[in-house]
Amino acid sequence: MTDKWGIIPRICALLAVLLLHGCYKPVNQPVIIYQPRPLPSALLTSYRIIGKSVQQRPIISTILGQGHDVIFIMATIHGNEPAGTTLLLRLAKYLQQNPQWLKTRTVVLLPIANPDGMAAGSRYNVRGVDLNRNFATANRLENQRSGITPLSEPEARIIEQLIRQYAPDRIVSIHQPLACIDYDGPARELASRLSEYCDLPVKKLGARPGSLGSYAGLTLHIPIITLELPPGAHRLDGQSLWDKYGPTLIAAVAYPESIN
Ligand SMILES: [Zn+2]
């Protein structure tokens, strides 16, 4: 047994003195350089892995804000239409820097809905299914290209799950290359508002069998926009693409408020 003034109590006493004077920092303990202040709720952003593709690529959603008005915007359900992904990454950054749009809103972003198709430069998922024909709708076709059953594909199930979880007030799905603003469900006014902010005309393409437009717009009666960018949109650099179509996406978030 060590007596009262043995070596260990002496070392402890010395450390206590050094700590009090800030001269000693314990090894392996993180040094906190900056303590972030708590963020206002409008600035809350979370990144969530919500599932995996057929080839086990993570599918990630970004959630900004926590208001009652919910907007769901997704891109690249067709893997060879990647311009929307660039736009959504920019939109996330823009909203973080301009949180006034998030005060009463929740913005749910799905920048890459079909990561396997994107990696392969293919419209389809890796099983050759067109994910935008895989939803449970009255007009769905039963064939290999549409998937053998509704929601047979994990990527389509993730989109459906996000819609059920967040119950969005409006949806925008970004595609290429038809250069127009198409809509399904009660979205005519939203479509004309968006067309004020870009060079794309409103054009009704008709509900495609088993498409997200048919599912959200006709089955669930959620206003949904299919934003068809022009064919060369993905060849524009990020800034030019954002300058051209960023305001359209901000208008979709702000609707029915005007962004001017
Ligand atoms: Zn498409």
- From 224, 241, 252, select the one nearest 83 (Cα to Cα): 241
Return the bridge partners of 108, or none: 63, 72
Say how many Å lie between the CA of residue 130 and the centre of ligand 1: 9
Residue 20's Cβ-count burial label (10 Å; 0-12, 13-18, 19+) is exposed
CA 247 – CA 110 distance, rounded (Å): 18
Say how many Å lie between the CA of residue 140 and the centre of ligand 1: 17
pLDDT of res. 183: 98
- Joined together, the tokens standing for residue 203 give 């054009």
pLDDT of res. 260: 76
pLDDT of res. 207: 87
- The predicted model gives 114-123 an average pLDDT of 98
Say how many Å lie between the CA of residue 81 and the centre of ligand 1: 6
Find the angle CA(187)-CA(193)-CA(196) to the nearest 5 degrees.
Answer: 145
Residue 3: pLDDT band by 50, 70, 90 thresholds?
Answer: very low
Residue 244: pLDDT band by 50, 70, 90 thresholds?
Answer: very high
For the chain, give me the number of helices (H) and strands (E)? 7, 7
Say how many Å lie between the CA of residue 95 and the centre of ligand 1: 25
pLDDT of res. 6: 54
Say how many Å lie between the CA of residue 68 and the centre of ligand 1: 29
Say how many Å lie between the CA of residue 22 and the centre of ligand 1: 61
Say how many Å lie between the CA of residue 231 and the centre of ligand 1: 11
Residue pair 185/224 in contact by the 8 Å Cβ criterion = yes
Other Cβ atoms closer than 10 A to 57: 17
- The predicted model gives 2-8 an average pLDDT of 48
- The predicted model gives 116-135 an average pLDDT of 98
Q: Which amino acid is at 260?
A: N
Find the angle CA(103)-CA(199)-CA(168) to the nearest 5 degrees.
Answer: 35
Give 139-194 pLDDT, tens digit per residue: 999 899 999 999 999 999 999 999 999 999 999 999 999 999 999 999 999 999 99
- The predicted model gives 74-94 an average pLDDT of 98
Say how many Å lie between the CA of residue 31 and the centre of ligand 1: 49
Say how many Å lie between the CA of residue 63 and the centre of ligand 1: 23
Residue pair 226/177 in contact by the 8 Å Cβ criterion = no
Q: With a cut of 60, say whether residue 109 has pLDDT above it.
A: yes
Give 191-221 pLDDT, tens digit per residue: 999 999 999 999 999 889 999 999 999 999 9
